[in-house]
Amino acid sequence: MDGFIGGRMEAVLSGEGISAADAARLIDVPDDLLGDLCRCAGQITGAFCGDDVDVEQLHNIKRDACSEDCTFCAQSALYDTGTTFNLPAIPEVVEGARRAKEAGSQSYCLVAAWREPPPDGFEQVCRMVSLIRRDVGIEVECSLGFLTPERASRLRGLGVRRYNHNLETARSKFAEICTTHTYDDRLRTLRIAREAGLELCTGGIIGLGEERGQRLELLLDVARLDPEEVTINMLVPVPGTPLELQPVLGEREILRVFAVARFLMPGSVIKASGGREASLPDGGAALLRSGASGLITGGYLTRGGNSPREDAEVIRRARAAGA
Ligand code: SF4
């Protein structure tokens, strides 16, 4: 075991934590020490989060036609990606939540591709939340774009536990990725959600052409928010978007990000999210031994993914390899 990595693990386990300079050194460890880094991140995960894998399903209740111009996103109205507008009926959403619960998911996240919800759309989401809470009883999370304090309080009052709003990428990269809103706009909604009593889920998407140092920059900003949940997506280039030809990140680089995220945020749920099936040969089993403690299952916002049954096998393989 490398002395520096082991020492920083002990610092995390003792509650002392690590500095930004430590994190910078950890994310840059040579390849031959990557196994040590991942093993230590896995030990921290076990100590703080136990063995349970937090499994969540998403329901993209409003796909596409988003006014924003995020260069990686298939749902922006500015790019012709062949996706189509779709707003489901409320009973369909409630039934989706029921199926997710029956398949073993602990939470169900309603996601809508809006800059911010229009008034009628927000009312419809509120009805969905109320009915899911009443009839299904699964934890409900929402990801609806920008929030006002009034809307955040309303969601909290209806029983929404957690609000997802990703920072997407490092502050120093953000203007290249999106010009229709700012990084600070995103931080503002996270602050509003926190002040309303909602738990925070935030993170971003790696592989947008950022440097490794910018991946760390994103992780450090996410850690400062002290989120209950961190979601890390891996770019799957979407034909029709400006990033359609972006080379994807290799597995080693992805492992570094998850491992250092765990050192920085030992108590957070860290979910391997969009892109893991396409980017990783084992579907994410190695990530579950290297810092991740949760999975999004059943597909993503515009792309399919592993079924809950396939992910049960991913989890089984991760446990078997760690035994
Ligand atoms: S990432 Fe979100 S805000 Fe940006 S275009 Fe896609 S749905 Fe809209």
Query: Please, what's the b/e burial string for 280-315 (b: 16 or more CB within 10 A of its CB; e: otherwise)?
Result: bebbbbbbbbbbbbbbbbbbbbbeebbebeebbebb
Question: What pLDDT is stored for residue 256 in this prediction?
Answer: 98
Residue nearest (by alpha carbon) to ligand 1 atom 6: 73
How large is the C-alpha radius of gyration of the chain? Answer: 19
Assign residue 241 a region: left if phi > 0, alpha if psi is -120 to 50, beta otherwise? beta
Q: What angle do CA 265, 144, 66 make, to 5 degrees?
A: 115
The pLDDT of residue 311 is: 83
Distance 169 CA to ligand 1 centre (A): 13
> 140-171: per-residue pLDDT in tens?
999 999 999 999 999 999 999 999 999 999 99
pLDDT band at 93 (very low <50, low <70, confident <90, very high): very high
The rounded percent of the chain whose pLDDT value lies above 90 is: 67
pLDDT score of 217 more than 60:
yes
pLDDT of residue 76: 86
Residue 132 near residue 111 (C-beta atoms within 8 A): no
Instruction: Answer for the pair 260, 20: CB distance below 8 angstroms, yes or no.
Output: no
Gap from CA of 114 to ligand 1 centroid (Å): 7
pLDDT confidence of 9, banded at 50, 70, 90? very high
Tell how far the Cα of 319 is from the centroid of ligand 1, in angstroms: 35
Residues in the chain: 323
Atom of ligand 1 nearest to the CA of 66: 8
pLDDT at 118: 86
- Give the model's pLDDT for residue 84: 47
For 275-287, what is each residue's pLDDT tens digit? 888 888 888 889 9
Mutual angle of helices 34-49 and 3-13, in 10-degree steps: 10
Q: What is the pLDDT, as a whole number, of residue 87?
A: 61
Find out whether the beta carbon of 76 lies less than 6 Å from any atom of ligand 1.
yes
Q: What average pLDDT does the chain have?
A: 91
Measure 141 CA to ligand 1 centroid, in angstroms: 18
Confidence of residue 45 (pLDDT cuts 50, 70, 90): very high
pLDDT digits (tens, 9 = 90+) for 297-317: 876 666 677 888 888 888 888
| Residue of 73, 78, 189, 243 to test ligand 1 pocket, by largest number of atoms within 8 Å of CB | 73
In sequence order, what DSSP letters do the residues of 151-217 get, joined into one string?
Answer: HHHHHHHHT--EEE---BS-HHHHHHH-SSS-HHHHHHHHHHHHHTT-EEEEEEEE-SS--HHHHHH
| Eight-state DSSP code of residue 234 | E
Nearest Cα to Cα of residue 198 among 207, 189, 206? 189
Q: Which CATH architecture describes the domain 3-322?
A: Alpha-Beta Barrel (3.20)
| Ligand 1 nearest atom to the CA of residue 301, by list position | 7
Q: Is 66 in the pocket of ligand 1 (CB under 6 A)?
A: yes
Dist. CA 311–CA 314, nearest whole Å: 5
pLDDT tens digit string along 51-89?
888 887 777 777 667 888 898 888 888 876 655 445 688
Task: Please list the alpha-helical segments (H only) found in 198-307.
Answer: 212-224, 251-264, 276-279, 285-288
Q: With a 6 A CB cut-off, is 2 part of the ligand 1 pocket?
A: no
Q: Say if residue 211's pLDDT is above 90.
A: yes
The helix/strand/coil state of 230 is: strand
DSSP code, position 250: P
Where in the chain are the domains? 3-322
